Amino acid sequence: MDYWRFDTVLPHLGYLLAGVSMTIQVSLAAVTLAVAVGLVVAMLRLSSIAWVRAAAGLYVDIWRSTPTLAQLLWVFYALPILTGVPLSVFVAGTITLGCHYGAYLAEIFRAGILALPTGQAQAARALGMTEPQVLRRIVLPQAVTIMLPTIASQFISLFKESALVSMISLEELMWHAQSLAGFTMRSVEVFTTTALIYMALTYPQTLLVNRLHRRALAAQAGTARP
Amino acid sequence: MSYQWRFDVAVDNLPVLLEGLGHTLLLTALAMAIGLVVGLALALMRLSGWRALALPAYLLVETFRTTPLLVQIIWVYSVLPLTVGLTLSPFFSGLVALGLNVAAFMSEIYRAGITSVSATQTHAALALGMTRSQVLRRIVLPQALLRMVPPMAATWVSLFKDTSVLAVIGVAEMMTQARIIASDTYRPLEIYTLVAVVYFVITYPQSLGVDRLFARNRVKE
Amino acid sequence: MAPAPPFLRVEQLHKRFGELHVLRGIDLEVARGDVVVVIGPSGSGKSSLLKCLNRLEEPSAGRIFLDGEEVTGAGVDLPRLRRRMGMVFQHLNLFPHMSALENVMEGPRTVLGLSRREAEHGARALLDRVSLADKADARPVELSGGQQQRVAIARALAMEPAVMLFDEVTSALDPELVGEVLSVMKQLADDGMTMLVVTHEMSFGRRVADRVVMMDQGVIIEQGPPERIFMRAEHERTRRFLQQLAWDGD
């Protein structure tokens, strides 16, 4: 009957917040890998060689049709057996999240590239711009504006899924929370506080995504055909 | 040095894995049902215009959208017994957490679908003398539901994969079984590969179906 | 003037959308059987006026009376009141997931509680009245704009309203489809329906209206019989508006 005693958690808040640093580190590392993977795979998907397209397509299908946790356990326990190279929990987490979200980003990039408005590019060429200039100054900025909200919302998902890496003992926020709950025997307060910390970190990101989304819509409206 | 693949280990344990799959499917179906009903209720609360309803619904939805599923599962599992005195089995705790999680995302899909129906439709129905509930039931929802099918199908596929996180509280679904077998047999490579293959085989066709639903909806619009 | 009290009475109606003061003290009286045509530039508040009458939009101030009963104010049974007022909108009128027949049946079935057979019987008769009996099973997307508007009129009539409100029902139509809709509306007027019509179709105003009301910036500039308004308008703004519409007063 004695719960909601947050004063029991307060002295340990620093311990919890120490986990946030690792959460952020692994998220940033993973998203960097994801963007790189996404770009490469998207390009491969647009290749003129059929088997390259198929292989890249298979990559995307596999990483999108299996659960992240299954992927994580495979990367951490199974892959080292194949390669003979043991992985730290941080690297395993980064690789898993990076390859997983890389697959999603590859689809977003591919759709974004395919949807580029050609009228704009033609107008730019008519003005006498070279191809690289057209790409750099007209096409890519617009493509990026349109894709940015989706990419950002993928980052939020990645950030939340970083909690899964606690299951192979990466000492990020969720791991610290479980540790602390065990130590203080105050699951209610600890996990509620942890949830609040995640909310505090994620909510501003969702506001940003909404703003990016509105900007993207405005940009598209400006170029809409009458 | 070459590794000795022991596929016989994988094949021997396949039945146990598939039993877990049965639980996975059951959890997916039940959580989806909860999500469909509770999600609609939450969406209606937010669209009602009454702060007393809209605010709690908003807070619930945002809470479940901004926290990791893992946190939600562990929270429900450890907090419910201590606060409400309700000790649920891992299966039911997991179901509650998953159900609420899906409901939160569903409520956003409902909201988008309902608000996409033109206001003139609502006006025309009200002008005929319909009550708000009649307008919703006979005019708005039927139109909204058609547009909501693709994102709902995508949610189903995500939900199926998310059941794997219930392994953290030991629910006897497929991921849990895989972990148990992998540690029992000391053959994580074969077992984790096998479970990945099973997930893939079940999920991939559904993903293709979802892609087709989205494409068909785009053509219709 | 009519000896009986006005059927529809609007008293000092105001409507604000935040800072925007869209209706600034409208006073209007409509007798039974009157056909009142409302004209004016965009933004004059004509559409808001109509929508306030059946409280699709909430008046900010003022009172509205239908057949002696107050429409505005708390505790009014809105669905019941709205049944007595039929409304046709500029576009997106029809329910796309129902056929034309089902659209017309919808009000009687859901609101009036008629049986399917009774509702269908009445609906077919109405579709016949607007010359669309052969399109009963068509979906709105299969109908032309003019046909959709006629079905919308039939649907409103199915509720047997005491007054019909038309909100620029031909403005979104291709020119060649306008005539068929106006013919239906003229027929309705000849049959004695009380009508409030917001329109840009001056020919309709001239031939069918009992009274023309000119609105601008939320107020009624002037009103009167069509011959006077169209040919000898008293106010400069009215004359200028009509000139802009290239009305040559033949």
CA–CA gap between residue C7 and residue C1 (Å, rounded): 13
Measure CA B123 to chain center: 34
In chain C, % of residues over pLDDT 90: 70
Binary contact (B66, A203; C-beta < 8 A): yes
Query: Can you state the percent helix, strand and coil of chain B, rounding each to 5?
Result: 85, 0, 15
CA–CA gap between residue C160 and residue C163 (Å, rounded): 9
Lowest mean pLDDT among A173-177, B14-18, B216-220, C118-122: B216-220
Report the candidate in B173, B189, B140 with the shortest Cα–Cα distance to residue B30.
Answer: B173
pLDDT in tens, B158-196: 999 999 999 888 888 899 999 998 888 888 888 899 999
Average pLDDT value over all residues in chain B: 89
H-helix segments, B131-186: 132-135, 141-162, 174-185
Report the candidate in C48, C69, C66 with the shortest Cα–Cα distance to residue C8.
Answer: C66
Please say whether the dihedral angle defined by the alpha carbons of residues A30, A32, A38 and A44, taken in this order, is positive or negative.
negative
Report the candidate in B80, B90, B81 with the shortest Cα–Cα distance to residue B171.
Answer: B90
Interface of C with B (CB under 8 A): 51, 54, 56, 78-83, 85-87, 89, 91-97, 106-107, 110-111, 152, 155-156, 159
Binary contact (A81, B162; C-beta < 8 A): no
CB A33 within 8 A of CB B158: no
Chain C residues closer than 8 Å to B147 by CB: none
- Nearest CB neighbour to C89, from listed B123, B134, B143: B123
Strands C69-70 and C61-66: antiparallel
Q: How many beta carbons lie within 10 A of that of residue B152, not counting itself?
A: 22
CB A20 within 8 A of CB A197: yes
3-state secondary structure of C223: strand
pLDDT band at C117 (very low <50, low <70, confident <90, very high): very high
End-to-end CA distance of chain B: 58
pLDDT in tens, C35-72: 999 999 988 899 999 999 999 999 999 999 998 888 88
- ipTM associated with this complex: 0.87
The two three-digit tokens of residue C179, written as one number: 């005539």
- DSSP lists the bridge partners of residue A5 as none
Subunits touching C (CB < 8 Å, at least 3 pairs)?
B
CA–CA gap between residue A16 and residue A197 (Å, rounded): 9
pLDDT in tens, A15-52: 888 899 999 999 999 999 999 999 999 989 888 889 99
- DSSP structure string for C5-74: PPSEEEEEEEEEETTEEEEEEEEEEE-TT-EEEEE--TTSSHHHHHHHHTTSS--SEEEEEETTEE-SST
The predicted model scores a pTM of 0.81
pLDDT of residue C2: 52
pLDDT of residue A124: 77
Binary contact (C86, B127; C-beta < 8 A): yes
Angle, CA C55 vertex, CA C51 and CA C59 arms, to 5°: 85
* A3–chain B Cβ distance below 8 A for any pair: yes
- DSSP lists the bridge partners of residue C30 as C8
Count of CB contacts below 8 A, A vs B?
118
B12 has a pLDDT exceeding 70 = yes
E strand or H helix at C197 = strand C194-198
Residue at B47: amino acid letter? L
Query: Can you state the percent helix, strand and coil of chain A, rounding each to 5?
Result: 85, 0, 15
Lowest mean pLDDT among A145-159, B76-90, C86-100: B76-90
- DSSP lists the bridge partners of residue C99 as none
pLDDT of residue C249: 53
CA–CA gap between residue C46 and residue B105 (Å, rounded): 41
CB C111 within 8 A of CB C159: yes
Q: How many beta carbons lie within 10 A of that of residue B149, not counting itself?
A: 16
Residues of chain A with pLDDT under 50: 1, 224-226
Q: How many beta carbons lie within 10 A of that of residue B27, not counting itself?
A: 24
Strands C61-66 and C20-30: unpaired
pLDDT of residue A188: 84
CA–CA gap between residue B195 and residue B46 (Å, rounded): 40
Chain C interface test: which of B116, B120, B128 (most C C-beta within 10 Å) = B128
pLDDT band at C233 (very low <50, low <70, confident <90, very high): confident
Name the residue of chain B whose CA is nearest to C161's CA: B128
CB C180 within 8 A of CB C8: no
CA–CA gap between residue C7 and residue C206 (Å, rounded): 23
Mean pLDDT value across residues C238-250: 73
Name the DSSP class of A85. Answer: -
Most confident of B100-109, B145-154, C223-232: B100-109
